[in-house]
Amino acid sequence: MKMKLRIYHVIAALSVMLARPTRAPADAVTDWNDIAVPALVAAVPPRPGPVGFLDMAIVQAAVYDAVTAIDRRFQPYHVEISGASGSPEAAVAKAAHDVLVNIFASQAAALDAKYHDYLLNNSLAENDPGVAVGEVAAAAIIALRANDGRVPNPLPPPFTGGTRPSEWRPTPSFQAGPPPSFSPMATPWLGAVPTFTLRSGDQYRPKPPPPLNSKRYAKAYNEVKALGSLVGSTRTPEQTDLAYFYAVINPVFILRVLRDIADAHVDNIGDHARLLALATLAIADSAITAWDSKRYFDFWRPLTAIQEGNNDGNPATLGDPAWQPFLNTPPYPDYTSKRGRG
């Protein structure tokens, strides 16, 4: 009962943070990031896996190039717009609007209404020269990322790994909630999507995980087995709370944190645009890089490894076919992993 109460407390705290009233956003950059997030959440069909991070990077890249063309303090990300003038707020609104409509075409009418209301409520003319700047920036970024494969059509066949020792495979879910039992790998194509700032997803591919018969593997195996168990774990209460916290973190929360940081510490629209662009581009590339490694190494999750521990060739890894993880295992290979969730 204690453990169940803890997750309710964590979720309640996050809900308060996400829903609490805040001071008015400092400028159009955070305003339109705040508009973009519900569009992402409402996408039909839902954006698969971490693809939403890539979508937001595209939005913020266009916003950045639009503002930078007028502000002229930083180098553009992709497009130089000579002679840019007008309101940077109008440029932001148009750039964000056009990219969002391109990604979420089914929401075009609602986004159009938000755009026109935004101009009206902020005393911005429909023909402000900044509108043309935003339009050019958005078109250039849309063309840059057109057919980038972040949501292939048609989707590739499901990836379900293999059954040999160390190979990832779909896993059961033991608690209520996502993911469904034995789900195939989420977005297995993501590691091959062109990156935003790196050369490719494999530029920083890590060294391989330790061999199954090594002491290093046995040490990690036994640590996860003890800390990550649903029953009889050696976790401290603080470690349990951290596990719950990171289990409910999502793009909506991360973007809210970025906006709060910008509103609290940045007072210039050009700096706002740069902060959100740098952050979202880095997050997008980190997702692509992580998925490249996951698909390349195809390494099993602790749930599989511990249940199959007697078959891995390492005498120091005692298997437990009944072992269950503290939280449901996500549907993708373990290495590299942002979460130790079994």
- In this structure, which long-range contacts are made by residues 100-109, counting pairs with CB atoms below 8 Å and at least 24 apart in sequence? 100/35, 100/36, 100/39, 100/59, 102/138, 102/142, 103/39, 103/43, 103/55, 103/58, 103/59, 104/39, 104/40, 104/42, 104/43, 106/44, 107/39, 107/42, 107/43
Length of the chain: 342
pTM of the model: 0.89
| Residue 176, pLDDT score | 85
Among 92-96, 104-108, 174-178, 230-234, which stretch is predicted with the lowest mean pLDDT?
174-178
> In the structure, what pLDDT confidence band is assigned to residue 340 with cuts at 50, 70 and 90?
very low
Decide if pLDDT at 243 tops 80: yes
> In the structure, what pLDDT confidence band is assigned to residue 20 with cuts at 50, 70 and 90?
very low
Which residues have a Cβ under 8 Å from the Cβ of 139 and sit 6 or more positions away? 98
Give Cα separations from 74 to 157, 186, 199, 256, 265 (angstroms). Answer: 43, 37, 22, 25, 19
Decide if pLDDT at 56 tops 60: yes
What pLDDT digit, counting tens, does each position of 126-142 carry?
Answer: 999 999 999 999 999 99
What pLDDT digit, counting tens, does each position of 282-308 carry?
Answer: 999 999 999 999 999 999 999 999 999
Task: Give mean pLDDT, residues 256-284.
Answer: 92
| Residue 251, pLDDT score | 75
Cα–Cα dist 276/273, whole Å: 5
> In the structure, what pLDDT confidence band is assigned to residue 252 with cuts at 50, 70 and 90?
confident
| Residue 4, pLDDT score | 41
Decide if pLDDT at 26 tops 90: no
* Domains of the chain, first to last: 23-213+251-299 (1.10.606.20)
Judge contact between 291 and 191, C-beta under 8 A. Answer: yes
| Residue 246, pLDDT score | 84
Q: What is the mean pLDDT of the chain?
A: 90
